[in-house]
Structure 1
Amino acid sequence: ITKRTARLVAEWQCVGFCHGVLNTDNMSIVGLTIDYGPFGFMDRYDPEHICNGSDNTGRYAYNKQPEICKWNLGKLAEALVPELPLEISELILEEEYDAEFEKHYLQKMRKKLGLIHLELEEDSKLVSELLETMHLTGGDFTNIFSLLSSFSVDTDPSKLEAFLEELTSQCASVEELKVAFKPQMDPRQLSMMLMLAQSNPQLFALIGTKANINKELERIEQFSKLQQLTAADLLSRNKRHWKEWLEKYRVRLQKEIESVSDADAWNTDHVKVMNSNNPKYILRNYIAQNAIEAAENGDFSEVRNVLKLLENPFQEAEGLGEVTEDAEEEGATATAAACAQETRSRLPYCSKPPLWASELCVT
């Protein structure tokens, strides 16, 4: 059970899946994802991403999932005490969980990066630095990984510049960052909380948390900096960050190539493995919202489109137009169908979210 759970949450982390309500009764001893209501896939990479709007403390945030699942296993161990002594189950948990999670996570990340022949100690650092670069640039978690399969170890500057343009197009714009870091507390409330923290720490501990206040102060600082940031400055900064990481990635890929006798065959396998481990499509909130709105207008073709898309999330979508042709069978009016088609045509299904999607809240 411990190993199954560790592998499950490692898979979640590798595709940016957030469960949302990881209570003990929402977990399965057979290692399945169950009872996910306010779940979501992370768009812009943020290790503290919270998909559930009612999770005010971030207990089930993206980066907390591995530890929460381990905690839940501890509760299962307590429930099994009549049959299994706690000292034995706790020992199993401590010895098995973290090691299994780290092993499976790194194996999966190697596949996502196309590192298919060598397993080097430096790989863990390469992954960490990739995620840090995503965080610094507001990179779209799914699309960045998907794009990396087209990265070439060729040192041609023009090819690198073209790839950087494509990569940075999947990073957050100034406007998107302003929305993400917009202060959430009323200034007067924040001021009162800060005064209370100084004058009556005991009372403050009952009604607020230091972590939340610190996060709000960080948000205010970031938001202030963004007021002075231009799109050109942001693009330049993002390109610099990505260029630094891509050089490390290129060196690592070169080691792969040097370890094989047929570089062309390696490249074919490398791309194939990456494309089968990096989904092109995920159920983004804006995609779900478009489908919901169309269905509420009597047009269920978009629901069928999304279902078909997610049945094969690693493959380029083909023939989705065929799904929409029988919209009238569901009783959709011509107007509703036209509205749904207009909604769908605004963005490709693999696009990072539009700005309006930041207002969506799942709870």
Structure 2
Amino acid sequence: MKHTFPDLPLAPRFAALPDRFHSRVQSTPLPQPSLIAWNEALATELRLDSAAGKLGWVDFLAGNSSLTGYPQIASVYSGHQFGVWAGQLGDGRAMLVAEIDTPAGIRELQLKGAGQTPYSRRADGRAVLRSSIREYLCSEAMHALGIPTTRALALVGSPQPVWRETVETAAVVTRVAPSFLRFGHFEHFHHRDQQDAVRELADWTIAQFYPECAATAQPYLALLHAVVERTARLIAAWQAVGFCHGVMNTDNMSLLGLTLDYGPFGFMDGFDAGYVCNHSDDRGRYSYEQQPQIGLWNLHCLAQTLLPEIGRDAAVEALQRYQTIFEDHFGDLLRQKLGLRQWREEDWGLAGDLMALLQAAHTDWTIFWRRLAMLPAQGAIPAELRDMLLDRDAFDTWVAAYRARLGEDGSLGDTERATRMNAVNPKYVLRNHLAEEVIRAAQQGDHDPLHRLAAALAHPYDDTPEYDEFAALPPDWARTLSVSCSS
């Protein structure tokens, strides 16, 4: 079935690339689709705010129909998975169904879970309600946190059964991004000795997203430099909020520096540098403390694809900038989290001593920072803050050093500092147990908890008493939650 929406300004861009970059596909209809969630704020931003009321729009979002004038396509890419070359991968359960011109620029609309593609590798191409809710909520939560990410426009459900570890029901998420281009797109053609395709893709990427690179003496080298910077800054932002991606394979790394592919992710509850959110990651390759290094490892894989164009020495120089960019940005984020106006080299020691105290007690990462904002520059340490640490005497010593540093920094007062800190230290993040609670309700047909949690996550830095339950310490049963790649 084809639908025409006259006010939908189609602007094919990725679809205009030659066929070797993608395959035409046909989505598989879902029975009895229903709209579970509609992101009104994003729809307004994209000028799609009236679309939800259009006849046939839910069918389009479910993959039951396609747009007149735009082919449904799935892109091909390859990648390293858990450090091992996996060969050809591609969009196995996602398909690009529209590219539209918006006030913010061209945006791709992608359906995840709309059926098989040539890259499904014998899988069904479906997504389940559980994983779809997690992606819908987290992509928008990350956007609200100010972290670059793909977005989620809609969530459609269906009673169709889908087999995973157990029988679940199907769902489709409408994902939105300027592009879903991945490191793996470049790897695919490089490892097939199709360097002309690598150049063509690099030229397209520069023209569409990095036009400033075209004006340089070496556009491909400038592109690598730009991706190095965006990746370093992205992972620094992850570290600051305690976010773990869970499956940082090269096919899940965005050329635009976006958080891409929400699967077995997790926000840390108790601080643990070795935190592994994906129980399939039995070696801890993608632990919290490893994420910065893995980002660099993945960039090495990308740089390999450009070596014939830029040379090894130039590539090494570009990659060597990664650590400095990461540390500069992470240091600036720590400065803001600590309420400092200036960052000094010795502040790494202050931050490191704090991390050691938090690690020893597995102190709740999110709640600690909000409570630290309550610390007065003088006087007694609030009990609700001090009691979060096991070694209270050591924490007292740290607080004395921190207060001295605040004095040297010239902080203007407790109230202003608290305001600054609360503007960068979220009160609400998508903890796994919160996602689990709304998933259980949705599986019983109750979507109100999902909408309520989404509303809280849309304003993560606000102090909204009606959402206080989302800012509480996780319950004991949360420790038994397990998230895998199927999530």
1:301 aligns with 2:454: no
1:7 equivalent in structure 2? 233
Match of 2:474 among 349, 353, 356: 353
Query: Offset of 1:251 from its aligned partner?
Result: 1.0
Equivalent-residue separation in structure 1 for 2:439 and 2:387 (angstroms)? 28
2:422 equivalent in structure 1? 275
1:142 equivalent in structure 2? 366
Match of 1:290 among 437, 449, 472: 437
1:105 aligns with 2:330: yes
1:166 aligns with 2:384: yes
2:402 equivalent in structure 1? 249
Query: Offset of 1:87 from its aligned partner?
Result: 2.2
Query: Offset of 1:81 from its aligned partner?
Result: 2.1
Equivalent-residue separation in structure 2 for 1:243 and 1:352 (angstroms)? 23
1:312 equivalent in structure 2? 459
3-state SS of 1:83 partner: helix
- Give the letter aligned to residue 431 of structure 2: R
User: 1:257-305 deviations in whole A, cap 9, x for unaligned?
Assistant: 3xx7xx34xx444222211110001111111111111112221111001
3-state SS of 1:82 partner: helix
Query: Offset of 1:119 from its aligned partner?
Result: 2.7
Equivalent-residue separation in structure 2 for 1:53 and 1:168 (angstroms)? 32
- Give the letter aligned to residue 124 of structure 1: W
Equivalent-residue separation in structure 1 for 2:316 and 2:272 (angstroms)? 31
Contact preservation (8 Å) 1:133, 1:245: no
Equivalent-residue separation in structure 2 for 1:359 and 1:115 (angstroms)? 37
Query: Offset of 1:170 from its aligned partner?
Result: 4.0
Equivalent-residue separation in structure 2 for 1:7 and 1:81 (angstroms)? 23
User: 1:156-213 deviations in whole A, cap 9, x for unaligned?
Assistant: 3xx32xx1x2025545xxxxxxxxxxxxxxxxxxxxxxxxxxxxxxxxxxxxxxxxxx
Task: Give the structure-2-normalised TM-score.
Answer: 0.51
Which runs of structure 2 are paired with 1:1-363 in the superposition (5 Å)? 1-94=227-320, 96-116=321-341, 118-154=342-378, 156=379, 159-160=380-381, 163=382, 165-170=383-388, 237-257=390-410, 263-264=412-413, 267-317=414-464, 348-363=469-484
Contact preservation (8 Å) 2:331, 2:343: no
Query: Offset of 1:319 from its aligned partner?
Result: 5.3
Contact preservation (8 Å) 1:44, 1:138: yes
Query: Offset of 1:121 from its aligned partner?
Result: 2.4
Equivalent-residue separation in structure 2 for 1:148 and 1:70 (angstroms)? 32
- Give the letter aligned to residue 297 of structure 2: W
Alpha-carbon RMSD across the aligned residues, in angstroms, is 1.6
Relative distance call for 1:90 and 1:108 in structure 2 (3 A) is same
3-state SS of 2:391 partner: helix
Contact preservation (8 Å) 2:245, 2:265: yes
- Give the letter aligned to residue 281 of structure 1: Y
Equivalent-residue separation in structure 1 for 2:372 and 2:265 (angstroms)? 26
Structure having the larger proportion of residues in helix: 1
- Give the letter aligned to residue 166 of structure 1: E
Contact preservation (8 Å) 1:170, 1:352: no
3-state SS of 1:54 partner: coil
Relative distance call for 1:302 and 1:168 in structure 2 (3 A) is farther
Which one scores higher on RCO, CA 8 angstroms, separation ≥ 6? 1
Equivalent-residue separation in structure 2 for 1:279 and 1:303 (angstroms)? 19
Equivalent-residue separation in structure 2 for 1:131 and 1:314 (angstroms)? 22
- Give the letter aligned to residue 479 of structure 2: S
- Give the letter aligned to residue 385 of structure 2: L
Equivalent-residue separation in structure 1 for 2:400 and 2:415 (angstroms)? 21
Equivalent-residue separation in structure 1 for 2:288 and 2:247 (angstroms)? 11
3-state SS of 1:81 partner: helix
2:125 equivalent in structure 1? none
- Give the letter aligned to residue 101 of structure 1: F
Query: Offset of 1:86 from its aligned partner?
Result: 2.4
3-state SS of 1:125 partner: helix
Contact preservation (8 Å) 2:361, 2:388: no
Equivalent-residue separation in structure 2 for 1:296 and 1:169 (angstroms)? 38
Query: Offset of 1:90 from its aligned partner?
Result: 1.5
Number of residue pairs matched by the alignment: 258
Query: Offset of 1:120 from its aligned partner?
Result: 2.2
2:73 equivalent in structure 1? none
